[in-house]
Every structure is written in structure tokens, then in C-alpha cells.
Amino acid sequence: MESEAEAYWAVAPGQGEIRTVTLAAPGAADVLVETRWSAISRGTEALVALGRVPASQALAMRCPFQEGSFPFPVKYGYCSVGTVAQGPAALRDRAVFCLHPHQTRYVVPASALHVLPADLPEGRAVLAANMETALNAVWDAGLLPGERITVIGAGVVGCLIARLAVQLPGAEVMLVDIDPAKAGIAEALGLRFCTDTEGLAPADCVVNASGAGAGLVAGLALAGIEARLVEVSWHGDAAVTLPLGEAFHSRRLRLLSSQVGMVAPAMRPRFDYARRMAKAMELLAADPALDVLIDGESPFRELPRTLPDLFQNGAGRLCHRVAYL
């Protein structure tokens, strides 16, 4: 027996609509999830909504349970929290996280779900995909106790990386963002903050999570001798010009990329995707201060208005949560 649900589709640059979708009846290994919350990713999802996914990356940037194709129309998203309404007895009525687009209910394999820890509030769990990205970035960066670490970009992922880094014994962590209003967020997370890298001491590791080429350029200037510069931002189809002819070679800098699609190499022999996500949710559950990163909420039915507005006029915003009940 089939049933219906409603889903958000991006249909043109900065435009979206809610469509009715047909759900197949769950099989023996499937579950039906009733969505409680989802969240809007201000990074990758913004580039998708604006039609800025390069054709060369169309396959690599597909998300689980995506429908349609880039640029449009496409159903895209990966921060969904809900309750299992139908499926194996061990999962029924459990709160779960799934890498699923914005949709009122959906049928997926039970193996695609991550059961929330009992102490993780459902409303905070929408940050799970962001925390997974931040955790992988910390692993890719090889951050160590005692290091001088600068994170450029106080978006959700940048704040999460800095929050994880500051818990390393003896680490000196600075969060940098050109928006002075982010100082309050940094303070709530126990982080030092500034709006400019000018005058900062050379860093052992710089992480750029700003989404801007200028942040990467600033990171190059700040990195100390044989330091690591880790690029977490994905720039879509935008070209980024770097001054590699200045001190890049004489300081023997290392420029690294970090992307959540693969587990960081140093951890890959022991961590699969499920273990990494379980650890991300454990970290979320243990840190109520992270609620400060959720700075907006609106009903699902308002997504055609809310989501494009956030991407076009929402500079400075963090995690916007979508409510389904």
C-alpha cells in the first residue's frame, strides 16, 4: 500500500516549492519515519539552492535519498530528525536522525537511521550532520594538545570545530569572523574571538570554515613555519585565487582539504560512518551550550519563502531549524 507525504524541492535559483510525493509501503527491512525537525545547511545546501553545484561534482555531491538532479529541480537536504512510526519492533517509536531531505514523512532502510542517545534532545540533534563534519575536520587537521589553533569562519561548522579544539589540553584557540556580532556566540562557547587575523601570533594549524576565498588567503598569511592549513569550506563553482608565490614555499606550509564524504584517513581503519555519527551525537548530547547555534525556527510549510530568503539575505545566521508538528 502506498501513501503520500510533502517534500521541499528547489526548482530554480533561489526558488522552491512543496510537492506531494508518493511513499512505497515499507518492506521488511524498512522503516516509516514521521519527521519532527529538520535543519537548513547554510553551506552546501545554499549552493544547491542557488544552482551553483559544478557539473563535474554533480555525482559526488548527491546526498542520500536525493531526488531529481542538479541544477533543478532537486530535493536536497541531510539534517532530519523524526520518530519511527512503522518498522522493526526494536526501532518503533524511537527518535532517530537520518540524512534525508526536508519531508514530512519518509520510508528508508532501517540501516540508514541513527538512533538518538537518550540524553540528546531531539531539537539539538538537527546539528548531527554539522558535528559529524566538524569531528572529521578535527581528525583531518590532526589537532593536538598545546597547539595554537585558529578557526576562520564562525558559522555552525566553524564554531563546532573551535568548540572541539578548545577542549584539547593546553590548546590556544582563536575563532575569527568578520561579523562582530559573532562575539556573543563565541563567548557562549567559551572561545576567544576577533574580527581580523592582523596581529595574531603564527598558528600551528589554521582551519578555514568561512566559505570565502578571503578566509583561505588570511589563513595562509597566519600559518607559521611548517604549519597546516585545512580547508573545510566548499566553494561550489566559485574560483579561489591564492598567493602561493609569497611565503607559501619558504614556510613549507601544508594545504589540506577536509570533506565529510570520507572518514579521515587516520581514523578510517577503525571508524565507519555509523561509528563516526554515533560519536558526533554523543558529543552533541554532552554539550548543551551548542543550543546557541540554533538561532531560528519556522514551520515546514513556510520553506518556499524561508529557505531562499535565508540564502539570499541571511548573512550572519547560523542553524535554522524547521518544525513539522
What are 29-64's pLDDT values in tens digits? Answer: 999 999 999 999 887 888 898 899 999 999 988 999
What does residue 145 show for φ and ψ, rounded to 5 degrees?
-55, 145
> What is the Cα–Cα distance from 216 to 202, expressed in whole angstroms?
15
Q: What is the pLDDT of residue 173?
A: 98
Which of the following CATH numbers is that of domain 3-119+293-323: 3.40.50.2020, 3.90.180.10, 3.40.50.2000, 3.90.550.10? 3.90.180.10
Q: What is the pLDDT of residue 312?
A: 80
87 Rama sector, left if φ>0, alpha if ψ -120 to 50, beta otherwise: left
Each residue's pLDDT tens digit in the chain (325 positions)?
569 999 999 999 999 999 999 999 999 999 999 999 999 988 788 889 889 999 999 998 899 999 999 999 999 999 999 999 999 999 999 999 999 999 999 999 999 999 999 999 999 999 999 999 999 999 999 999 999 999 999 999 999 999 999 999 999 999 999 999 999 999 999 999 999 999 999 999 999 999 999 999 999 999 999 999 999 998 888 899 999 988 899 999 999 999 999 999 999 999 999 999 999 999 999 999 999 999 999 999 999 999 888 888 877 889 999 999 8
Side-chain half-sphere CA neighbours of 91 within 13 A:
24
- Burial annotation 133-169 (CB, 10 A radius, 16+ → b, else e): bbbbbbbbbebeeebbbbbbbbbbbbbbbbbbbbebe
Query: pLDDT tens, 131-166?
Result: 999 999 999 999 999 999 999 999 999 999 999 999
**pTM for this predicted structure:** 0.95
- For 113, other C-beta atoms within 10 Å of its C-beta total 21
What does residue 22 show for φ and ψ, rounded to 5 degrees?
-95, 130
* Contact (CB, 8 A) for 171 and 264: no
Q: Can you name the CATH fold of 130-257? A: Rossmann fold (3.40.50)
Q: What is the pLDDT of residue 2?
A: 64
- List the one residue out of 261, 262, 259, 218 whose CA is nearest residue 240: 218
Query: Where exactly are the structural domains of the chain?
Result: 3-119+293-323, 130-257
